[in-house]
Homo-oligomer: A and B are copies of this chain.
Amino acid sequence: MKKRTIITARSIGFCFGVTKAVELAKKILDKHKCLVSLGDLVHNDLVMTELKEKGMRVVTSISEIKGCPFIIRSHGLPPDILEKVKKQTSIIYDATCPFVKKVQNLIRVLSADKNFIFLVGDSAHPEIKAMKKIAGKNCTIVNPQSNTDFSYIKAARWAIIGQTTLSLNLYRTAITRILKRIPAEKITIFNTICPVSIERQSEALKLAGNVDLLIVVGGRKSSNTEKLVLTGKKINKNTILVETPEEVKKLSFANFQKIGIISGASTDVSCIKEILRILRNHPAQKNHRG
């Protein structure tokens, strides 16, 4: 059997927004020794475990904040929740991803300009939840994979916004479906998909076609990681998601000679390095190398 090849994607590790959020959290923890976030700061269990070891607390209820410094997670926070947080603590740090922040500001402008807003994304995801609250009444969440009827909505101006971590392909499908009727005088479509997500999806697509197995390293709760897996699977059914180096140890790679590795935006590069080390020293590989 030939020697195994491992191809690592060009864009791996933390994205700009996650780097900023994690660095900010570490800095605060060094100073205050404690920090609270409402839900995970970023969607990656390994990263969250590390932060928790440094004193971070992830709570699910505002009442648990109790005077601790607070950090707004990378996915943003609905304005009403932020108001409630302010009553619990006076020290608030903002780790909202700059791209998410840009979209939130866009939604504010569009709402003030009386646009009816379609938010294409996952209604259970914190990013979309925050955006919906900002948009207010004249807005609806569109599940990109379901065939909702929008004919009941009456408005002169419409805007279409996508969750920043959506796959460009899913976003297109949703837009085409929304546009099937064009009763509005003006429909504005904003390409709000984060440039990092677009770049990684495009790399996943290329890589998937060029390897026997594509490993996507990322959190199981991470939306952008999920979209990378979906994107890879379109080209190569041997596309798998792994969250930790431990998981890699349990897998067999005997059937795969060419392996590709890509990561979600909240995956630390040290985790990828560890996975690469395991893969290179994997027993199956040693055996094959003879």
Contact with B along A213-225 (1 / 0, CB 8 A): 0000000000000
- What is the bound-complex CA distance between A13 and B180, given in angstroms? 30
Is there a chain B Cβ closer than 8 Å to A189's Cβ? yes
Q: Which chain B positions have C-beta within 8 A of A172?
A: 179-180, 182
Q: Which chain B positions have C-beta within 8 A of A179?
A: 172, 175-176, 179, 189
Contact with B along A176-189 (1 / 0, CB 8 A): 10011011111111
Q: Residue A183 contacts which of B186, B187, B191 (CB distance < 8 angstroms)?
A: B191
Question: With contacts A176-B176, A176-B179, A179-B172 known, is A189 near B187, CB below 8 A?
Answer: yes
- What is the bound-complex CA distance between A176 and B189, given in angstroms? 12
Whether the Cβ atoms of B191 and A188 lie closer than 8 Å is no
- Chain A contributes a number of interface residues (CB within 8 A of B) equal to 17
**Among A168, A171, A182, which residue has the most Cβ atoms of chain B within 10 A?**
A182
Is there a chain B Cβ closer than 8 Å to A190's Cβ? yes
Q: Residue A182 contacts which of B171, B182, B185 (CB distance < 8 angstroms)?
A: B171
Nearest B residue to A188 by beta-carbon distance?
B188
Whether the Cβ atoms of A175 and B186 lie closer than 8 Å is no
Main secondary structure of the interface of A (DSSP, over half): mixed
Nearest B residue to A171 by beta-carbon distance?
B182
Contact with B along A44-82 (1 / 0, CB 8 A): 000000000000000000000000000000000000000
Whether the Cβ atoms of B185 and A191 lie closer than 8 Å is yes
Within the complex, the shortest CB–CB distance from A45 to chain B, in Å, comes to 33
- What is the bound-complex CA distance between A186 and B172, given in angstroms? 14
Q: Which chain B positions have C-beta within 8 A of A168?
A: 182
Whether the Cβ atoms of A190 and B186 lie closer than 8 Å is yes
Within the complex, the shortest CB–CB distance from A212 to chain B, in Å, comes to 30
Nearest B residue to A162 by beta-carbon distance?
B182
Q: Which chain B positions have C-beta within 8 A of A171?
A: 182
- What is the bound-complex CA distance between A182 and B175, given in angstroms? 10
Question: Which residues of A (209-239) have their CB < 8 Å from a CB of B?
Answer: none
Within the complex, the shortest CB–CB distance from A123 to chain B, in Å, comes to 22
- What is the bound-complex CA distance between A184 and B198, given in angstroms? 13
Question: Which residues of A (259-282) have their CB < 8 Å from a CB of B?
Answer: none
Instruction: Give 18 A-B pairs besides A183-B191, A189-B189 with Cβ atoms closer than 8 angstroms.
Output: A172-B179, A172-B182, A175-B179, A175-B182, A176-B179, A179-B189, A182-B191, A184-B191, A185-B190, A185-B191, A186-B188, A186-B189, A186-B190, A186-B191, A187-B188, A187-B189, A187-B191, A188-B188
